[in-house]
Amino acid sequence: MVKKVIVDSSSAILLFKANVFTYLYDCYDLFVCDSVFKELTIDGYEGHQFFKESVLKKQLNIIKFNDNMQLDYKNNKDLRSLGKGERDSIIITLEKQIDFMIVDDKKACKIASKYGLNFVNALLMLKILFFKRNISQKKFKEEFDRLSTIGYYSKKIKQFVLDIKASKLTQFI
């Protein structure tokens, strides 16, 4: 069964810049919430046309967020502290049986962890694509180096990604 994955805007842009977003199409059912799609497709922003075309080609699916979802985010301090895209993505992951999130926002990661959600950042997603044999060792190294310079990753996170074994990532593979 193909895993359902929701992607936040910062992670989508990082994976686009690393030239690996399209590899996700081969492995997962990809989703973004409507607020993230709006962020990704602002005219003039890098990748805006790419993301519009991905939806038109049905490679990327939009999930509409609505205020009738069960989780009362308006009275939830944690969720109110997030940007709309991160908040909507977390709530949709909780309510729509999404297998995992790709998210790079530090605060969103902490809240996702608090709710027991499976998530990875864009840098770790590269490693998962390598373990799934969707990208080569050379491609992993090149794009790891690129993402390490354009993303905000600590030395600890970078080393974690380099050292992690496939057996620790089975829920994402």
Print pLDDT tens along the chain (173 aa). 899 999 999 999 999 999 999 999 989 999 999 999 999 999 988 899 999 999 999 999 999 877 665 556 666 778 778 888 898 898 888 887 899 999 999 999 999 999 899 999 999 999 999 999 999 999 999 999 999 999 999 999 999 999 999 999 999 99
Q: Which helix (H) or strand (E) holds 157?
A: helix 155-163
| Residues present in the chain in total | 173
Q: Looking up tokens 């794009």, which residue turns up?
A: 143
What is the C-alpha separation between 8 and 56, in angstroms, rounded?
19
Give yes or no for a contact between 119 and 89, defined as CB atoms under 8 angstroms apart.
no
What CATH fold (topology level) applies to the domain 3-122? Rossmann fold (3.40.50)
Domain ranges for the chain, please list them. 3-122
Contacts of 101 (CB under 8 A, 6+ apart): 5, 6, 7, 8, 89, 90, 93, 112, 117, 118, 119, 120
- The pTM of this model reads 0.91
